[in-house]
Amino acid sequence: MADLTHADWLERAARLRPVTVHHIDGADHAGTGDTFTVIAPRDGEPLARVARAGPAEVDLAVAAARRAFDTGPWPRLAPAERGRALIRFADAIEAHREELALTIALEMGKPVAEAYGIELRAVAATFRWYGEVADKLIDEAPQTAADAVALVTREPVGVVAAVVPWNFPLTMAAWKVAPALAAGCTVVLKPAEQSPLSALRLGRLAGEAGLPPGAFNVVAGEGPTAGRALGLHPEVDVLAFTGSTAVGRHFLRYAADSNLKRVWLELGGKSPNIVLPDADVAAAAASAAWGVFFNQGEMCTAPSRLLVHSSIADDVVDAVVAHAESLRLGDPLDPATTMGALVTADHLARVQGHIARAHADGARLRTGGQRVDRPGHYLEPTVFDRVAPDMALARDEVFGPVLAVLTFDTEDEAVRLANATEYGLAAGLWTSNLSAAHRISRALRAGTVWVNCYEEGGLNVPFGGVRQSGHGRDKSLHALEKYTDLKTTWMQL
C-alpha cells in the first residue's frame, strides 16, 4: 500500500465492483429488487445501488442464524477449530485489505491511508485475537461439600444481531462479530445505510474463508425498517448496538416490546481533554488536535471539549490552531490527505448548524468554520475558544471536526466541567504530576481515561461507556461476557 499513488487508487476505484447484495445463509441474496443508493462523500456522486432489506430479508437472515445455531456446526465445533476458522477469516481480510480499505474510503469519506493503515489493521487483528483466545477460556468448578459437584459454565447466548454506525464501518462490526462468533454464537450484522458496501464484502468474504453457512449473515437496509426488525425479532437473543444515544433508546424499547432480548449499547460522547499547567504543552496540543480531527471528527471518543488551565490556554490553543491549519483536507483517495469528507450532505449541514449556533452563542472562532468550495462534503477543521459551559457547543455531540475550548483555574473546577455532561465515554488528562493523574482519573466519570495520550490501547483492554454513553464493553475477554450466559450445574453425588 505504501507505494500506491493517488492515480493508483483512482484507477482501482474505477475498477471496483462493490458487493451490493445481502449475505444470508452462506450465499448472496438479492432481496426483492428494492434498492437504495450509496453516495460517495468524496464527490457527492452515486457510488452503488444496494439491496434494501425489509422485515422479510431480516426474517431470512435471522432464520439462517437460528438454524446455524440450533443445528449447525458452529456452536458445536471444538473451540480450537472455531478459533482456527476465525484466524482463517482474519487472513482473508488481510488478503483483501486494499479492496476493503478502498471501499470504506469511498463509502464514508475517510482517507484511504487511514482506512488501510488503521481500520483494516484493527479489523484483521480483532478477528485474529478472538480466534486465538477461543480455545483458552476456562470454566469454574466452585468448591462444595463432599457430596456435590458444582459447575459454572459459559454457554453462547444464541443469535446475536449487531447494528453498527458508519464512522468505523468494519471496526465497529468486528468488535461485535468476532467475540460473538468466538463464543459460539451466530450473527446477523446490519451496517449503517451510509456504509453498507464494506460490510457486504465482509459477509461474502466470510463465506469464501469457509465460515459455515448461517454463522455470519449481513443485511443492508435502513435503521427504522431493517434495524427495527432486528430489534423486535423474537429469535434474536442479544442485540449489540453502536451508534447514537437516541437510537440506543429505541433498542431498549424494542427489547421491552418483544422478547426482552439483552441489549448492549455503545453510544455517543462529548469527551473532555484536561490540560493542567504542568503538562507537556506541545504534546498535549498535538494530541488534542489529532484526536478531535482524526476521522473528520466523526469519532465517538473525539476529545471535543478541550479544558485547559487559563495560565497556559493561549499557548495550547495557538498550537492546536497551527495543527488544524496544517491538516491536508482533500480527496480521501489521495494518500497525502489527512482529513477527508464528512459522511453525507445532511451530516455536513448538521455540523454547520452546530457551528452557526456556536457563533450565535458568542464563542470565538479561531480557525476553520467553512465548507470547502468543491464537490463532496468537505468542512474545514474548526476551533472555537471562549466556549462557556452552558453553550450548546460545550454539551452537544457534534460528531464532526469542531473543537470547543473551555478554561479552568482549579483542579476541582476542571473535574466539575469534565463531568458536566450526560455522556461518559472517554476522557483525556495531561499532567506531569503523578498524584494529580491518579486523583483526577479516579474522579472522571468515563469508561476510559487516557493520561498523557489519547486513543491508545490494545485488544486486551475493554472499551465502552458509562452514563448515557452506554454500558457494554467491546474488546478484551470482557466482550465475551456479552455473548455468553452463565449456567450453573449442581450435581448431588
Catalytic residues: 266, 300
Shortest distance in whole angstroms from residue 374 CB to ligand NAP: 24
Of the pair 96, 176, the CB lying nearest ligand NAP is at 176
Q: Tell me whether residue 31 or residue 269 sits nearer to ligand NAP (CB atom).
A: 269
3-state secondary structure 1-65: CCCCCHHHHHHHHHHCCCCCCEEECCEEECCCCCEEEEECCCCCCEEEEEECCCHHHHHHHHHHH
- Torsion angle (degrees, nearest 10) of CA 252, 257, 258, 260: 50
Smallest separation, CB 60 to ligand NAP (Å): 18
Q: Least distance to ligand NAP from the beta carbon of 366, Å?
A: 24
Residue linked to cell 466519570: 445
Q: Using the minimum distance from each CB to ligand NAP, give the nearer residue, 237 or 266.
A: 266
Name the residue nearer to ligand NAP (CB basis): 247 or 329.
247
Query: Of how many residues is the chain composed?
Result: 493
Work out whether strand 484-492 and strand 148-156 pair parallel, antiparallel, or are unpaired.
antiparallel
Please, what is the minimum distance in Å from the beta carbon of residue 228 to ligand NAP? 4
Closest approach of ligand NAP to the CB of residue 397, in Å: 6
Query: Least distance (Å) from ligand NAP to the CB of residue 423?
Result: 9
Indicate the residue among 117 and 462 with the shorter CB distance to ligand NAP: 462
Chain positions contacting ligand NAP, by CB under 6 A: 163-167, 172, 190, 192-194, 222-224, 227-228, 231, 242-244, 247, 250, 266-269, 300, 397, 399, 425, 465, 470
Q: How far is CA 282 from the centre of its chain?
A: 29
Our CB check for ligand NAP shows the closer of 192 and 480 to be 192
